[in-house]
Structure 1
Amino acid sequence: MKVNLIFLLLIVNLYSCSTGKKNNLQFVSEFVLKDSVSLKGTIIGGLSGVDYSNGFYYFVIDDANNPRFVKAIINIDKRKITSINFKDVIFLNDSITNFYKENSLDLESIFVDEEKKQINFSTEGSIRRGSKPSIFTTDFSGNFITEYELPESLQNLKNIKHNGVLEGSSKSIDKKGFWSIMEAPLKNDGVEPTFTKTQSPVRITYYNTETKRATKQFAYQLEQITKPSKGTVNLNGVTAILEYDKNKFFIIERTYQSGYGAYGNIVRVFDAEVTQETSNILNVKSLKETSYLPLKKRLLINFEDLKDKLTEGIIDNIEGVTFGPVLENGNQSLLLVSDDNFQVYGKQLNQFILLEIVRE
């Protein structure tokens, strides 16, 4: 009954989001998980995507050597996360197929299909090794079921940046499909963001769950990098997406710059929308050679403005977003999670952030 009540409140809140009021986001609280937590002999880290379903939070772990996902219960009291209890870790192991062995599983997103009782993942593959990106489905035990057919624009590996392809995904509000978004532009669509405004669109694609194919695709324009360069790496791309109303999304852009140590990330959350004027680019081979209109977007929150509320002033590598609980004041919350890369690049945090959706 408790889960059903939460679901009902979520639907009510989402319905009110579609009444013409604008969404704004406010910081609620932060929780940092110890970096030594383990389960079934594996470390809890590399949390690259999250989804909420039937009382559990599902996190995908970005570990190409041992691909897996975990189930957890998050306890929240008086607008603060009090504990995160990891209940199970499920490994992706081939049984009657060789899909996992034949593909590089650089897992970046996860979402649960409650009706079909399946779990969906996206993997960036390994472009340098000639391993294609993929969106695929498993059962709750991690057994492979099926793979989706990617649109033509995502099948030419020579046109895709390594580690810059299928990064975020979201269940669709219509329950007939889902959305997937790229991290970086295709080579023939534009250039990577830099310190001035550039044509840097990434493709967001809608897939039908019955046909297993893409039916529409749009362009989302990335922001320029705003902090001065200190090192050799200066990147900005999309890391997560969540559809909150029909054709309306929360989209997370993360800038990473070397030379700043643990303070190298800039994380911004945008409200983006597909309108009647937005161009369907599903059959467009090159955006450099085509006129098009991208999604409308509006900045909601920049964590550069919230450093005093974060552990040691650090906003880490945020790569996942899902709906959190309905707060005591009746407002819907969002849960953001960071990928700490298992600390291989230096100090990073398993960071969980609660935001509140405020409609004005």
Structure 2
Amino acid sequence: MSKKLKIGIFGFGVVGQGLHDIIITKNLNLEIVKFVIKDPNKKRTLAAELFTTDKDVVLDDPEINTVVELINDADAAYQIVKKALTSGKNVVSASKKMIAEHLEELIALQKEHGTSLLYEGSVCGSIPIIRNLEEYYDNELLHSISGIFNGSSNYILSKVYNEGLDYDTALKQAQDLGFAETDPISDVGGYDSKYKLIIAVAHAYGVIVKAEDVLNIGIQNLSPYELQYAKEKGIKIKLVPVAKELDDKHVAMFVLPKFVKQSEFLYNVDNEYNGVVVQAAFADQQFFFGKGAGGHPTGSAVLSDIAALRYDYQYEYKKTSGVKDLKFTNDIELAIYLRYDDEALVEALSFDAIYERYYSGDFKYVIGKVKLQNLIAQQQHIANSKAFVAFAGELSDVQLATI
């Protein structure tokens, strides 16, 4: 029999309201005691007595046994989640940045205090990828995980490619729909996708990686030239995080725009939808598809975690707590497309091989193989010169760098 949950929810934004909308349609053994909000003057759709601005009203209430954290401030989220776990309360969170930056400590806190932190809603919205990595693939050898993890950037790329909108118009639409923040750099710069990838990799491979060690290059330098190139080649541009096991000792991770062929699952993942491709040794290739942005899709994932806590569900972190032979590395080679103006950037990247090169007026690009370490070293140069980089190869071709 399920236990009664008394819940305190931090945040009543898009996801918080979406969660509430779903909960009131269900007959579940739970009660929302209080919402903690930042702005007491903002007009709310629920009774005023349900809201407070004092976090300790929830965190110090012994009757509240479950905390749901749905705020945008990663530092404040960390303090909330840490105090809740150490106070004996179970937690559900959708804060991918906070979880990625503190995952090792959060795992230790759960073990020390016998509490549970669930965060399905933090990775790919409505797609249940964490639970599948944790349970279904617990004994599976995973060759790679890749996909579209950010609905905001995918919405923008879909609009510019499919409807011919310019980048700024598509971004404004994404912001108006609540898919992108006022400052969109986390989404379009690949940071959001990177945080989600780090969380997924911890469950897939048992490797916990610091965010600053993982390369992320986004779509903010996208130009009409890339769209012209993609349409001529019959491919699409998607922002794709990648994790690949290179051998029995190394796993690599990066986030880059990718040229996606029509034969690939991700080609037809458009607008705010997400898609995750898992390449496994025994199950072969499997594809997960669903909405990755919006209050109700993410709210449904949060509710799934809340419902699991009624039966004392916990992540076991089986691969994280196992024998740690697998290590993260950036010492890999991969094929990239580089659209550039500054010839010095091409020299600095020191291509190991060049497959194609094109000059025409203002449009210059080169396709070839580079070391990921060189991309990392030149990341600021790429940004400053407004160059555009895309992964132009196959996952099977990503390999350890040769000296």
The structure with the largest helix share of the pair is: 2
TM-score in terms of structure 1 length: 0.29
TM-score in terms of structure 2 length: 0.27
* Structure ID, larger Rg: 2
The structure with the largest strand share of the pair is: 1
